[in-house]
Amino acid sequence: MRASIRILAAVALIGTAATANAGADRDRARTETADKPISFTTDVQPILTKLGCNQGACHGAQHGKGNFKLSLRGFDDAADYREIVRGAFGRRISAVDAKDSLLLRKPTLHTSHEGGRRLTEDSWAYQTLVRWLRQGAPGPAASDRKLKQLVVEPAEILLQPGGTAKITAKAVYEDGSSEVLTDKAGFDSQAPMVAQVDARGTIHASGGRGESAVMVRFLSSVVATRVIVPYGPPPSLDSFKPNNIVDKLWADTWQKVGLSPSPVCDDAEFFRRIHLNALATLPRPEDIRAFLADRSPDKRDRAIDAVLKRPEYAALWAHKWGDLLLNNRETVGKKGMWSLHNWLRTSFRENRPADAMITELITAIGSPYQNGPANFYKIGTADEWTESTAQVFLGVRLQCARCHNHPYESLLQADYYAMKAFFSRVGKKNSQDFGLAGGDTVIYIRDSGEVAHPRTGQVMKPKPVGAAPVDDPIDRRRALAAWISSRDNKALARNLVNRYWGYLFGRGLVNPIDDIRATNPASNPQLLDALADDLIANHYDLKHLMRTIMRSKVYQLGAVALPASRADVDNRYVTHYSPTRMGAEALLDAVDFACGTTEKFTGLPKGYRAIDLPDSDYTSEFLDTFGRPRRAVPCECERSEAPTMTQALLMISGGLLNRKVSDSAGRVSRLVKEKTPPAKAVEELFLSTLSRPPTAAETREAVADIQAAPSPKEGLEDMLWTLLNTREFQFNH
């Protein structure tokens, strides 16, 4: 019996705070009306959550602890009430003497308890539980107040080292009532080395510098407050002249966090950067020379415009979105794969608005062979369509809510199944069922089909995450697409802004870039909203978004951090451009470009680059080694960016690189045949790999090495091999 009642035990995080505030609790308890009704839902459950009883490491675990199981974070009131009051043959509570209940004796150590002391008898939590038991331990009722909003103030706190601040949490209920949640809400810091928070919402700067999100949790709602402890005093930014809103809002943030930006990068570095970001393609030597020779003040803006008009733009972004949409012949068939790939290339070539593209994907019907977007529904089930829609188009990882309320977010299990209801009537049939030729699949809308909540059995009305229910009498997906693309809804725009910021900088404003949630705040929330508003105002023009970001001085900063800004080790505040390794496809194409060779992929005519490939089913040891995704899950994390020893060996001594460097029709062979002077040959190799001319010292050293080689060809091959193995070549910087 005793082992089954560890309800307030295990890994509770704030129990000792109850003792520290015992005096205040005692005074408050004396003033409360003794017969005030205690609600299991709005009074008892918050206590269990705040003390950690129902979290995953304790009784909220899949199988509970000590034969006592509670729902994770209290998402199932009815089940938890039954377990407490009726479980273990009713031995967890005492109807004769409330204080003799194991529910109270365990955490107060009047009975042996593995979790130690979690309650004191003069605490508000203890007195509330006693009153609830004395009132007959009433269970959840239809009359219980329903939470409308959790209000937390302030939304952002700037603290100096050693400073303190107070968070105020308030519950606003649907009946118009409200209450301050100092005792009921749970407070937790995500970075306690920067800022710690006690059980009553008082924040203490711990000594570390940087930022922490302090989570405030009550019932099913979670809200976060940003706490910033500056790295130093506000810097002087007199020399930083903003180009646009991106620069202005980052300058405001640097002043707040006490960091200084690096100087703007030089022209060669900028020119290479925009080509790799927008095209995954190195710039041509003749274009580099022309750009460096140009003295006009607007040449960077014109270069950005020119890059965004290149045909490689459509190839790169069709490939990137093919990753997100899991376009793979193993799942949609070869014809379906080409159909979706060609639709993506056409859409990006024509610069179709992103909201129109996404609407077409969500509402697709018909033959996947003839209608590329219909392949979105050719694979998977309603669960997978639900999760992919949320993650790819909204940046919300909804998977956790399939089984239970999200433990750290305001995402309910009901939200998952209400979202799934949009796809409940999507059907798939063999084409022969429609009198068409066999071998194809037809996506269509059934006349009926509902989604029931797995726990309650309730039929769920279609409702987007975090919004009111919407429906369409013919096709529910049309209502979802209309909500997603509404000008009053920033969810899609914020997701696209964050993704593209991440693609251009190697790190999203919200990071990871497909995990937008309250407790994962943006490094610059004002900028995220401003760019989202601008994207909506410009009709979801993705080239406009890229142009705005790339024209900013923030994007054009140098890749070396100033000494004073290196404390921001992950460059959260973008004080410099973070070098990022080229993706697998871009790196292989860059090797081919530098060597003057072309990789031949089985089943495709010669001339297809790696970035042109429609899926990942083309054999390539190089691409596999450098982490290309298999397109199995709609997550950016599927692409591996971690360096490995195998990658290093492949570049240093692999047969592929040696074969390309010494190719008889390659760049080195052409330079030798044309009897190019050594200095000119060195310049071309630098331009075709590092996208910059060599310095005078580099030229002298390289020419000497070539002349010392057994032959000019071997000297140039060694020079090219050396350049290909530099970080300067393999990284975008």
Measured in degrees and rounded to the nearest 5, phi and psi for residue 646 equal -60, -40
For position 172, which CATH number holds? 2.60.40.1080
Same domain assignment for residues 350 and 458: yes
Distance CA 118, CA 109 (A): 8
The chain-wide mean pLDDT, for the chain, equals 90
Same domain, 212 and 280: no
pLDDT confidence band for 405 (50 / 70 / 90): confident
- pLDDT (0 to 100) of residue 9: 30
pLDDT at 53: 80
Residue 455's contacts (CB-CB under 8 Å, 6 or more residues apart) are: 76, 413
What SS3 state is found at 164?
strand
Paired strand residues for 592? none
Average pLDDT over residues 581-590: 96
Return the structure tokens found at 704.
């000497």
pLDDT tens digits, one per residue of 269-304: 999 999 999 999 999 999 999 999 999 999 999 999
Question: Is 299 contained in some domain?
Answer: no
Alpha carbons 186 and 17: distance in angstroms, whole number? 12
Q: Which long-range contacts (CB under 8 A, 24 or more apart) does 375-380 make?
A: 375/325, 375/327, 375/332, 375/336, 375/337, 375/339, 375/340, 376/325, 376/340, 377/426, 377/428, 377/443, 378/331, 378/332, 378/333, 378/336, 378/428, 378/441, 378/443, 379/326, 379/331, 379/332
Is 304 domain-assigned?
Answer: no
Q: What dihedral do alpha carbons 719, 720, 723, 729 form, nearest 10°?
A: 170
What's residue 659's pLDDT? 94
Do 394 and 533 belong together in one domain?
no
Separation in Å, CA 309 to CA 64, 279, 593, 708, 722: 58, 10, 20, 44, 33
Q: Is residue 559 located within the same domain as residue 498? A: yes
Q: How far is CA 722 from CA 562, 685, 698, in A?
A: 29, 11, 13
Residue 352 shares a structural domain with residue 473: yes
Which structural domain, as residue segments, surrounds residue 118? 2-134
Neighbour tally for 285: CB within 10 Å: 16
Higher-confidence residue of 627 and 431: namely 627
Q: Is 175 exposed, middle or buried (0-12, 13-18, 19+ CB in 10 A)?
A: exposed
Domain end position, chosen among 86, 111, 134: 134
Q: Among 96-105, 437-446, 453-462, which range has the highest average pLDDT? A: 453-462
pLDDT of residue 439: 67
Distance (Å, whole) CA 288 – CA 294: 10
Share of the chain above pLDDT 90, in %: 75
pLDDT at 8: 28
Tally of residues, the chain: 733
CATH number at residue 668: 1.10.3130
CA–CA separation, 693 and 178 (whole Å)? 67
Q: For the sheet with 186-189, list strands across it.
A: 156-158, 221-229, 210-218, 186-189
Do 422 and 533 share a structural domain?
A: no
Q: Is residue 590 part of a domain?
A: yes
DSSP H or E segment with residue 88: none
Q: How many domains does the structure of the chain reveal?
A: 5
Which pTM value belongs to this model?
0.90
Same domain for 276 and 400? no
Identify any residues that bridge with 210 across adjacent strands, giving them in sequence order: 229
- What SS3 class is residue 162? coil
Mean pLDDT of 29-56: 78
Q: Which of 102, 134, 118, 121 lies closest to 35, judged by CA?
A: 134
Q: Which two tokens stand for residue 96?
A: 């004769």
- Residue 535 domain-assigned (yes or no): yes
Q: Which of 229, 249, 269 is the last residue of a domain?
A: 229
Does any domain span residue 198? yes
Which pLDDT band holds residue 148 (cuts at 50, 70, 90)?
very high
pLDDT per position as a tens digit, 638-653: 898 888 999 999 999 8
> Nearest-CA neighbor of 279 among 546, 507, 544?
546
The yes-or-no verdict on residue 117 having pLDDT over 60 is: yes
Q: What is the pLDDT of residue 50?
A: 85
| Exposed/middle/buried for residue 194 (C-beta within 10 Å: 0-12, 13-18, 19+) | buried
| Whether residue 108 is found in the same domain as residue 151 | no
Span 685-695, pLDDT tens digits = 999 999 999 99
Confidence of residue 432 (pLDDT cuts 50, 70, 90): low
Q: What is the average per-residue pLDDT within 375-382?
A: 92
Average pLDDT of span 238-250: 96
What pLDDT does residue 98 have?
85
- 481 and 493 in a single domain? The answer is no
Query: CA separation (Å) from 98 to 44, 67, 91, 360?
Result: 15, 22, 12, 61
Q: Please identify, among 134, 164, 186, the residue that sits at the C-terminal boundary of a domain.
A: 134
Helix, strand, or coil (residue 470):
coil
Say which residue, 409 or 195, is predicted with more confidence. 195
Do both 160 and 120 map to the same domain? no
Strand 731-732 with 441-445, pairing: unpaired
The dihedral formed by the CA atoms of 597, 602, 608 and 613, expressed in degrees to the nearest 10: -130
Report whether 286 contacts 279 (CB < 8 A): no
Q: Are 562 and 655 contained in the same domain?
A: no
Whether residue 10 lies inside any domain: the answer is yes
Give Cβ neighbours of residue 655 (< 8 Å, ≥ 6 apart): none
Same domain for 68 and 176, yes or no, is: no
Classify residue 621: in a domain, yes or no. Answer: no
pLDDT at position 35 is: 65
34 — pLDDT class (breaks 50, 70, 90): low
619 within a domain of the structure (yes/no) = no
The pLDDT value recorded for residue 410 is 78
